[in-house]
Amino acid sequence: MKDIVQKLDLADETAGRLDWLGEFGKDPEGGVSRLLYTKEWVEGQHALKQWMESEGLDARFDEVGNLYGTLKGKNPNETVLTGSHVDTVTNGGRYDGAYGIVAGIIALKYLKKHFGEPVRNIEVVSMAEEEGSRFPYSFWGSKNIVGLAKREDVESIKDFDGVPFVEAMNNAGFDFKNNAEGRKDLKAFVEVHVEQGSVLETENTAIGVVNNIVGQRRYTVEITGQANHAGTTPMGYRKDALYASSHMIHEIISMARKVGDPLVTTVGKIDAYPNIVNVVPGKAIFTIDVRHTDKEAIVSFTEQMTDKMQDIAKEHEVEMNIDLWMDEDPVPMDQTVVELIEKQCEANGLNYKLMHSGAGHDSQIFAPVVPTAMLFVPSLKGISHNPAEFTEPSDLAEGVKALIGALYELGYKE
């Protein structure tokens, strides 16, 4: 195994295929926009189907447009699945999602060539959608595969141009007749993805073996003070909503810095009202995003955070309304699959580290029902969801090698 894997020269092939896939939805100014059920998406999926067929895989779509390429095994009732999402954000990069599909097809090609028929099916999936960029719905592809998608979820939603979800799906050649049942044959899911952060690059490591996907809480905070004349209201008489907010933000971020990794906290959006140069702000609205790999840690941090904010609101004599609108638990990866991948990386002489994912992925939809793990490769400067997204071809190749090793263990061993 090691001899074969080490000898494979996958850098040009993988990078070349990513450039090829990036042509579908390529923006004139650089970057890729391949949103669910658009013309670019349809053309990309059909081109991938042809590629799968040309490598000797059995290719088929499911009813919503997830595309599968199967290397058939002796036992047709068990399947090891790999792959990722084919959709991008608007003006995104060529690697997010796409890399997992390209890596999967190339891995299956070499497994077939060097090891022949596996014990169970090994399958690559090009999932219809993950990003939620066209319609207000995320993980459409993976939720259909595991049986979490419901027709009523999408029946009334529309894109920014007012096109109904179902109409877009029908125009792309697909239809969602029944609530997805969920596949019963899946024995494991391994997703390969670009890190979208800078940990691997900073630590000079080719591969991240993901053992956990962070949980997150998101809040919207509304601070109400009193709008007033900027010239005639002495400092001591003010109820300045923006000043109170900035005090809170300072405290929240300082607290998070003290706690340190893997806790991360972000205030990424703030609006002040009336937002006029010579008026004391009467209202401010901002968001908070808190992430950690441990649920308890999220709960305890956010409790302290809210207490502190309440104290600050009192001090500034402003009203505070805090709304928790997202509360997702961390998702641990399957320990057995993670260890198997670690062993495989060691056996094949690959440079890896265990790490968590700070971003959400299709794997979090699979993990509660299918033994799941993820592999990361470095992202240049941690840049993602951006035309400048880039991974060195040599790192892309290392990720494919790690995937080949993992799929061999999962698909060829009794």
Summarize as ranges the residues that interact with Zn ion (CB under 5 A): 96-97
User: Phi and psi of 266, rounded to 5°?
Assistant: -135, 130
Long-range contacts at 43-48 (CB < 8 A, ≥ 24 apart): 44/86, 45/86, 45/126, 45/128, 47/21, 48/21, 48/86, 48/101, 48/105, 48/126
Nearer to Zn ion, 96 or 195 (CB): 96
Min CB(71)–Zn ion separation in Å: 24
Nearer to Zn ion, 31 or 97 (CB): 97
Min CB(404)–Zn ion separation in Å: 21
Nearer to Zn ion, 99 or 165 (CB): 99
Nearer to Zn ion, 96 or 409 (CB): 96
The DSSP annotation for 100-133 comes to HHHHHHHHHHHHHHHH-S-SEEEEEEEES--S-S
- Cβ atoms of 146 and 74 within 8 Å: the answer is no
Q: Could you tell me where the DSSP H helices lie in 267-392?
A: 295-316, 335-347, 363-366
Nearer to Zn ion, 97 or 215 (CB): 97
Min CB(180)–Zn ion separation in Å: 21
Tokens standing for 297?
A: 């840690």
Min CB(133)–Zn ion separation in Å: 11
CA distance 118 to 111: 8
Tokens standing for 284?
A: 């401010």
- Cβ atoms of 178 and 150 within 8 Å: the answer is no
Nearer to Zn ion, 40 or 96 (CB): 96
Min CB(123)–Zn ion separation in Å: 19
Min CB(193)–Zn ion separation in Å: 6
Nearer to Zn ion, 96 or 334 (CB): 96
Q: Which of 160, 159, 158, 126 is nearest to 144 (CA)?
A: 126
- Cβ atoms of 363 and 331 within 8 Å: the answer is yes
Min CB(96)–Zn ion separation in Å: 4
- Which residues are paired to 381 by β-bridges? none
Min CB(196)–Zn ion separation in Å: 7
Nearer to Zn ion, 83 or 97 (CB): 97
Min CB(87)–Zn ion separation in Å: 9
Nearer to Zn ion, 137 or 273 (CB): 137
Nearer to Zn ion, 65 or 97 (CB): 97
Q: Which of 407, 346, 363 is nearest to 103 (CA)?
A: 407
**Cβ neighbours of residue 219 under 8 Å, at least 6 residues apart?**
287, 288, 290, 322, 323, 324, 325
Tokens standing for 320?
A: 């505070």
- Cβ atoms of 111 and 118 within 8 Å: the answer is yes
CA distance 251 to 267: 11
Q: 207 exposed, middle or buried (CB, 10 Å; 0-12, 13-18, 19+)? A: buried
- Three-state DSSP at 25 gives coil
- Cβ atoms of 85 and 193 within 8 Å: the answer is no
Min CB(371)–Zn ion separation in Å: 20
Min CB(130)–Zn ion separation in Å: 6
Nearer to Zn ion, 97 or 399 (CB): 97
CA distance 68 to 81: 9
